[in-house]
Structure formats: C-alpha cells, structure tokens
Amino acid sequence: MNFSLATAALKNLKSHGYVVVDNVLPEAVAYNYFNEILNVAEVNQKLLTKNSTILKYKEKTFFFDKPNIGEFDLSVEKVRAALPKIHSYLNDYSLMHLLNTLDLFPHSKNEFFSQTVKAQINFGNNGCFPIHLDADYLNLDDKRTVTSILYLNDLSDDGGGEIVLYPFPYKKIIVKPKFNRYENEFVTQLLIVTRMVLFSSKFCFHRVLKTKEPRICLTKWISTENPLKYDDASLELEDSLCLPQNRIYVSKVLLKDEWRLSLKESQLENCSTILIDNLKNDIKIIENKLQKIKNFQTVFKNFLSETKDESNNLKIKYF
C-alpha cells in the first residue's frame, strides 16, 4: 500500500486523536476492492452479517441491529476465501508499520502488532450509526487502538454518510466520504482519489450520519500488543483532564443531547427506550461524580479556555 503521502499528516493522530488522509491508494486497487465486495454481496448474501449495538443493561445483554447495514467479517474463513482481494488488504501491514514509527506510546514499550478488517455496505435508506467508541479501554482483552476507514465510493453532495468525530476538547469534525472527487467540472486532475480516516478506537467518540445512497468502506482495526494503562492518582485536576479515560466521561455529559438524537436516528422505528434509559442513567451517575470533585467547574472552564488555542502547551493524550 502506498502511504508516501500520508507520513507527515499521520502525526495529527497523536496530537488530536484523528487524521484524514487523501490519496492513500491507487484508483485501480480501490476499484478492485469495491467491485469484489459488491459482487460477493450479490451472489452470496449469507456471508453478510448485521451490525449491532450491544448493550449490557440490568444484568441482561441486548443486541440492537442497525437497519440497512451489512458487513463481511474477515475473521471468518469463508469470508476470506470469498474475498481474496480484501483478504490481501487484511494481510497488508504497511499502515501498522507506519504507525509504529509515530511514537504514540512514549512512556511504554507498547507497539502495534495485529489487525482485523470488516468490509461494510451501508445500503442507504438512512442507515447510520449512533455516537460510540469502537473499543472499551476497561476491557483489557480488547486491544484495538487505532481505527482506519477507507472509503471506496463517492456520494453526492446531499447523499449523507458523513462520519462525525468528537476529539474532545477540540471541536467536532464532519468528514465526507470521498472517492474520485473532482473539485469542479473545469478541473481535469482528480482532487481526491481515495480517502482514509483514522482515529483512536478507545477514546475518540464518533458517529455516521444518515446515508441516503449506498456507501462502501473497509474498516481496519489495529491493535497494540499490551492494553493501554493510565495512572492519574497523583495528578492535579487539570492534568488529569489531559488523560483520555477521564475526558470520555466528561464528553458523554457534553454530548448527551446529540447522543440521544443519534440513538433514535440509528435504530429508526426499532429504537428501544432501553438505549435512551441507559444513556440517562450513565449521564446521571457521571454528573453526580463530577459535582463531588472539588473546584471541578472552575478548573474545567479554564481547561476549555486553554484548549481553544490548539497550540496550547497541555499534553492532551489520545493513546
């Protein structure tokens, strides 16, 4: 895979928890991936699996299938056999090796060592995803650390399907899926051939907006050898907000209205009140805990003020 254009840009992944990189693949390779996914989906739909929101609530586990979303899971042998070109993408470790040069874990010997892939078809019809994290940092068995999404087809300007990233404390970012996109009709050179979005699997909240047209993408999760661990016991309050495991709870409170809307939209008419009730309970618990932290409101306001200038000296961590 050709990442010669991406090396410098990837450094934003460390400082802001995400990066958008264009022209990461030759057009012909991307078209091969795209055509293989569509062809197999047409002749072997049994290999497509549903994408579900999994919720543990009151000692029960619930699965909420997202409408209009289908996936090929490359961890399944039959899927790998049916999708040899996508299998080659799974076995391409060039991105992982490149990430290992970025020094994302300066205080440990951790490094990336494995990856998994799913090929996803969003069939349109308002298929979307609620706000979520890809991995739970409290689950030490889930070592997924970086998520990369490679878009394989372009959508019209009002086709939807944008991914929204919430790299708190920095402002949210809305990224359009782009493929073979011209800047305007008078430009003969392609502005964007292939687009990839990368972000922190454990600490960058994100969602996908309603998609009106089919959207095809490849998601690759890159895992570390060891689970990420952070110790904030001896830190001052403002310094502790620089650690990602603390910011995710504050983020949830700040995003609660948008989060609630995203849950309703993603499940459409099948949306269960269980998801909304669980969100309300989480918010209540977090807010109660924040209120008990001495001087939290004052320190938090100062923290937000400092981070408005993205060149601040705070050592904000996303990994």
Residues 118, 34, single domain; the answer is yes
Number of domains in the chain: 2
Residues 62, 99, single domain; the answer is yes
Residues 251, 280, single domain; the answer is yes
Residue finishing a domain among 224, 250, 268 = 224
Question: How many beta carbons lie within 10 A of that of residue 27, not counting itself?
Answer: 13
Rounded CA-CA distance 273/263 in Å is 10
Residues 256, 173, single domain; the answer is no
185 pLDDT tier (thresholds 50, 70, 90): very low
Q: What is the DSSP letter of 160?
A: B
Q: What is the DSSP letter of 83?
A: -
pLDDT tens column, 112-163: 999 999 999 999 999 999 999 999 988 889 999 999 999 999 888 889 999 9
Give, in degrees to the nearest 5, the angle at Cα 235 between 232 and 240.
65
Residue finishing a domain among 191, 224, 257 = 224
**Reported pTM:** 0.92
Residues 30, 136, single domain; the answer is yes
Residues 122, 243, single domain; the answer is no
Average pLDDT over every residue of 176-191? 61
Average pLDDT over every residue of 256-265? 92
Residues 107, 171, single domain; the answer is yes
> Going by C-beta distance under 8 Å and a sequence separation of 6 or more, which residues neighbour residue 24?
1, 2, 3, 5, 6, 150, 194, 195, 196
Residue 315 lies in a domain: no
287 pLDDT tier (thresholds 50, 70, 90): very high
Residues 220, 255, single domain; the answer is no
Residues 77, 151, single domain; the answer is yes
Question: How many beta carbons lie within 10 A of that of residue 186, not counting itself?
Answer: 6
Question: Domain span at residue 290?
Answer: 237-307
Residue finishing a domain among 224, 251, 266 = 224
Locate 144 and state its tokens: 């997924």
Asked if 184 and 193 count as a contact pair (C-beta separation under 8 A), the reply is no
pLDDT tens column, 196-253: 999 999 999 999 999 999 999 999 999 998 877 776 666 788 888 888 989 999 999 9
- pLDDT for the residue 80: 98
Local structure of 317: helix, strand or coil: coil
Residues 191, 53, single domain; the answer is yes
5 vs 64, more confident: 64
Closest CA to 159 of 128, 203, 117: 128
- Indicate whether 187 pLDDT > 50: no
Among 53-57, 101-105, 125-129, 294-298, the range scoring the smallest mean pLDDT is: 53-57
pLDDT tens column, 30-70: 999 999 999 999 999 999 999 988 888 778 888 888 999 99
Enclosing H/E stretch for 30: helix 27-43
Residue 125 lies in a domain: yes
CATH of the domain at 159: 2.60.120.620
Residues 130, 252, single domain; the answer is no
Locate 313 and state its tokens: 């000296």
Rounded CA-CA distance 34/248 in Å is 35
Residues 146, 281, single domain; the answer is no
2 pLDDT tier (thresholds 50, 70, 90): low
